[in-house]
C-alpha cells in the first residue's frame, strides 16, 4: 500500500510540475531553452560606447543588447567598418535597423540603391535578397532588432 501511495505521489507531483511549466511558458511567452528576455521590472540601458562588440567577420562587429541572436528575438548594435561590403544575401527573419552614425547603404536585387543616413530607419522583410555596406569614409553604426534568429544566407532565395 505504501508503494502505491509513493508512486501516486510522484505521478501527481510530476503532473503538477508539468502543468505549472506549461502555464508559465504560455503566460510569459518564454520558450524554455532560450535566453529569457530582460526583466521588465528594472530599467536597463546600454550605450554603444560601452557595449561589448564581438567580431562577426572581416569588417563587421556586433554587441548583443538583449535576447539571443543565435536562437530567437534579439536587439544589437552592429558596426560596419569603412569599405566593408556584404555580398548578395538574405535573412530568414524580418530586420529592423535604426542608423545611429554614418550611413547604411542598401542595394536591392533589382539594383536600386538607398542610402540610409543617421537618424533614419529601414525595414528589410524576411527573405529579401540584398547587398549592404557602410559609408566608404565613416562606416556605419546601427541598432538592429529582429523577431527571429540572425542568419545570413548567401545568394538569392530559391
Q: What is the pLDDT of residues 10-33, one digit of tens each?
A: 545 555 544 444 444 444 444 444
Q: Say if residues 84 and 134 touch (Cβ distance below 8 Å).
A: yes
Please state the pTM of the whole predicted model. 0.71
Which pLDDT belongs to residue 155?
84
What is the pLDDT, as a whole number, of residue 84?
A: 94
- Torsion angles phi and psi, residue 42, rounded to 5: -140, 150
Q: Tell me what pLDDT residue 1 has.
A: 60
Domain residue ranges in the chain: 1-32, 54-154
CATH class for the domain made up of 54-154: mainly beta
Nearest C-alpha neighbor of 150 from the set 83, 102, 86: 86
| Rounded-to-integer distance, Cα 1 and Cα 103, Å | 75
pLDDT at residue 91 greater than cutoff 70: yes
* Contact criterion met (CB below 8 Å) for 30 and 62: no
Averaged confidence pLDDT in the chain: 82
Q: What is the pLDDT of residue 26?
A: 41
Residue range 96-122: average pLDDT? 95
**For residues 85 and 102, what is the distance between their CA atoms, to the nearest angstrom?**
14
Amino acid at each position: 500500500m505504501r508503494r502505491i501511495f509513493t508512486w501516486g505521489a510522484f505521478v501527481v507531483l510530476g503532473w503538477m510540475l508539468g502543468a505549472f511549466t506549461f502555464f508559465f511558458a504560455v503566460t510569459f511567452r518564454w520558450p524554455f531553452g532560450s535566453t529569457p528576455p530582460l526583466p521588465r521590472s528594472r530599467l536597463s540601458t546600454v550605450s554603444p560606447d560601452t557595449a561589448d562588440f564581438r567580431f562577426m567577420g572581416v569588417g563587421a562587429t556586433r554587441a548583443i543588447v538583449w535576447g539571443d541572436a543565435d536562437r530567437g528575438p534579439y536587439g544589437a548594435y552592429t558596426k560596419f567598418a569603412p569599405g566593408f561590403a556584404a555580398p548578395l544575401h538574405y535573412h530568414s527573419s524580418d530586420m529592423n535597423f535604426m542608423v545611429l552614425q554614418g550611413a547604411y547603404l542598401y542595394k536591392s536585387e533589382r539594383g536600386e540603391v538607398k542610402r540610409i543616413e543617421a537618424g533614419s530607419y529601414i525595414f528589410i522583410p524576411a527573405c529579401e535578397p540584398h547587398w549592404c555596406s557602410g559609408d566608404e569614409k565613416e562606416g556605419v553604426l546601427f541598432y538592429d532588432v529582429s523577431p527571429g534568429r540572425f542568419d545570413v544566407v548567401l545568394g538569392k532565395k530559391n
